[in-house]
Structure 1
Amino acid sequence: MTRTGGGKMVAVTPFNIPRDPLMGSNHLTAVRWLLASLVALGHVYLLTTAYEPVRVHQWTGGYMAVNGFFVLSGMLIAKSLDLRRDLKMYAISRALRIYPALIVLLLTFAFVFSTVFARPGGIDNALSGDVWSYVVRVLFLGDPQNAPSGIFAGNLEADFNGPLWTIRYEIAAYIMAAIGFAAGILKSRLMTLAAFVIVQILYLALPFMIDFSALPQGLLPLLRLSSAFLLGMCLWQWPRARRPHWLLVLGAIVAFLFLGGGFGGELLGTLALTGLMLRIGLSDTAHGSVVSLPDYSYGIYIWHYPVMQAVMFLRPDTGPLGLALMSTPIWISMSAGSWHMIEKPALRLKPKKRRKAAVMSENQGAEHP
């Protein structure tokens, strides 16, 4: 602290402590926009041609973008748990981030999509047991991969909202992270790194050792997304790793381009993508117009697919370009409405209490010890 001429005390960042963009203004919202848009771009092709051409080797852009989301989520969740250290506040905050917009989406599914974009349609569908069973199943983290009551019947892809499958894994990651912090396991750098390495090894090795058809269907996605989430948690533990040199990032990209089609290719791709996200999202210079970008990413993620499906229901001969031109203004508008009228007001209900250490860390930009 220092005293100004008028006697007022103001916070000053010590010269010997480097600025940590994760503790202040950054471009992570813009990164989330890019990831959500990459998922949407893949679905433009999937819903019209049943094939996503945006890929490197066998890894599609949408697939890798989901990994990127989980890396960012792991880093930010570790930050929240480490600085706030109040599990009740943490749980409330996570629920307010996920559920209000999801509930509105599912109500729209029941009263709009099931009545207008179904064969047979009509108001009776809004009272259908199948429709409300789907709503309850998704809210309680069940499988969202179908479209009851003839919704989007005749479309190339026969599901209401494919991207919703990741939400249950996101919530599972939130819960496991909270348990790990409460048990003291994920407070340690070395234990966090060990957890990431173990999960990654299991994800890479188990398909060669076990017939997954005999195991629960969600095990492999759980290992995949848990690995990405734990990578993000490691980034919180090692602040300097959040600032990789461009040469390291370029090296990871080259390694993925040449070796990504073989064993461990997905890991190489996730590391390369993580490096790009860190360089863009946590740049040394924060640009005000990018920092102030509203966070439509969750809305984009949950709204683009049903909007595209609705367009395909009405215009089944639409190609990728036509689907993009017709659907994008609609799902961007829906995402904007979701953010400004549902998500942002819900986030204002988050508990305001913060630990003094967290406030000091954010003001000073101090690195995690």
Structure 2
Amino acid sequence: MAGDAQTQLADPLMGQNHFTAVRWVLAIAVVLGHIWLLTTGVEPFSIHEWTASYMAVNGFFVLSGLLIAKSLHTRRDMKAYALSRFLRTYPALVIVLAVFVLVFAPLYSAEGGGSPFQSETWQYTYKVLALGDPDSAPAQIFSQNLETDFNGPLWTIRFELAAYILAGIAFMFGAVNGPWRVLSVFLLVQSVYLGAPFFIDTSALPPSVMSLLRLSSAFLLGMTLWQWPILRRPPLFVVAGLIAAFALLGGGLLGELFATFALTSLMLRAGLSKRTSVRIAKIPDYSYGIYIWHYPLLQVFLVGQPDLRPAALAIMTAPLILLVAATSWHVIEKPILALKPRSSSISKKPNARTPLEINRPTRGVDL
């Protein structure tokens, strides 16, 4: 038992870590990709066919799977888990949609199409909150721009919430409650995702099916990392090998898998450093605010200046995106997260916090 305690105390995942900074990097990668997409129609930051923003979304889901697995196995309180997931996702999202109804739709829709009382405006709002597909231009918003959707990044929110729900159900039934079980589930879902194009015409399926398989695979990779702590600190030669494998084979059938493994190894090395910087560990988590706010803000700038080049758009919008994200965190997200219930149930499994750790502050981790 003493050995387990020492192991856990040395595990940066159980205390301070740099994952908040990693999420910042992922969010910025998404923003940069969209800046080029909205101005030129293409995202230039890619290796093989995998763009930085595409892989950043995979990275978000890997981190989410790791931290959600930690939450489930250390707290073991499903009511607290469900409430925490709701408070982390919905309040800030509701504010975005409220501003859409009251500001974006009336000001930036085609003539007569943006009334707050128009049924299409409210149908879009309800659809997003009910986990429907938000990839549309409600009330003919931003119809004069190159891309006409209101907030494209919101498409991942429903898959994130679906992952939370499915993870909770799998945990209750024991499907992810052991190293070999969660590894088996990950391999099964990953195999279906990679193998489906060989057996069926995936283009005939609703796009959400393959997206669910893709993001579930990334999420389960994170859950697998929780059950296999030895994998959470890959040696530098392993990181280099994964990067080399992606560089050489990333254009093949397993290209996305190599890309996700390489990205995950880099995130783990950066996020779970043996020498944690208190300053980095304490940075506020603006990543969610950046993610859900940047797209409509970029669209607003392009309404009046459609010929803006990517660099100019980035320079003009960066302060506003950061200000809005900071406001979202300090005024909405952080105060609401303080309402999350604190469960007294601590897992007895090797991955659980030891009694010495229960009183240690946990920073930089989204539980």
> Is the 2:109–2:142 Cα contact (8 Å) retained in structure 1?
yes
Query: CA offsets per residue over residues 239-289 of structure 1, 9 Å max, x none?
Result: 111010011001100110111011100000000000000000000011011
1:52 CA drift (Å): 0.3
Counterpart position of 2:290: 300
**CA gap 1:322/1:13 in 2 versus in 1, 3 angstroms:** same
Task: Tell me which of 184, 197, 204 is aligned to 1:194.
Answer: 184
The structure-2 alpha-carbon separation of the partners of 1:361 and 1:199, relative to structure 1 and needing over 3 Å to count, comes to farther
1:320–1:17: structure 2 CA closer, same or farther, 3 Å change rule?
closer
Instruction: Tell me the TM-score normalized by structure 1.
Output: 0.92
User: Aligned Cα RMSD in Å?
Assistant: 1.9
Task: Tell me how far apart the structure 2 counterparts of residues 213 and 262 of structure 1 sit (CA, whole Å).
Answer: 19
* Cα separation, partners in 2 of 1:142 and 1:348, compared to 1, 3 Å: same
* Alpha-carbon distance in structure 2 between the residues aligned to 1:44 and 1:128: 30
1:62 and 2:53 matched: yes
Q: CA deviation at 1:16?
A: 6.6
Native 8 Å contact 1:33 1:295 kept in 2: yes
Q: 1:53 to 1:128 in 2, by over 3 A?
A: same
- 1:347 to partner: Cα distance: 0.3
What is aligned with 1:220?
210
Query: Which of 22, 30, 40 does residue 39 from structure 1 map onto?
Result: 30
| Counterparts of residues 15-54 of structure 1 (less than 5 Å) | 19-54=10-45
- Deviation track 1:51-88 (CA, whole Å, cap 9, x = no partner) reads 00000000000000000000000000000111111111
Distance in 2 (CA, whole Å) between partners of 1:32 and 1:14 is 29
Contact 2:48–2:251 (8 Å) recurs in 1: yes
Q: Tell me the alpha carbon deviations over residues 107-143 of structure 1, each in whole angstroms, 9 at most, x when there is no partner.
A: 0001110111222268x61111111110000000001
Larger Rg: 1
TM-score when normalising by structure 2: 0.93
Shift of 1:14: 6.0
- The answer for the alignment partner of 1:349 in structure 2 is 339
**Hey, what does 1:116 align to over in structure 2?**
107
Query: Which structure 1 segments of 5+ residues have no match?
Result: 1-11
Show the counterpart of 2:85. 94
Q: Quick one: which amino acid aligns to residue 338 of structure 1?
A: S
Local SS of the residue matching 2:274: coil
What does residue range 166-315 of structure 1 map to in structure 2 within 5 Å? 166-315=156-305
8 Å contact kept, 1:39–1:65 = yes
Q: Give the Å deviation of 1:148.
A: 1.4
Give the Å deviation of 1:307.
Answer: 0.4
Give the distance between the partners of 1:13 and 1:200, measured in 2 at CA: 31
- Amino acid aligned to 2:189: V
Query: Number of residue pairs matched?
Result: 354
User: Contact between 1:24 and 1:362, CA under 8 Å: does it hold in 2?
Assistant: no
Q: 1:152 aligns with which of 134, 142, 149?
A: 142
Percent identity over paired residues: 54
| Contact persistence 1:32–1:297 (CA under 8 A) | yes
- Could you tell me which of 312, 333, 340 is aligned with 2:323? 333
After TM superposition, which residue ranges in structure 1, 4 or more long, deviate above 2 angstroms? 12-18, 213-217, 356-362
Is the 2:131–2:158 contact (alpha carbons within 8 Å) kept by the matching residues of 1?
yes
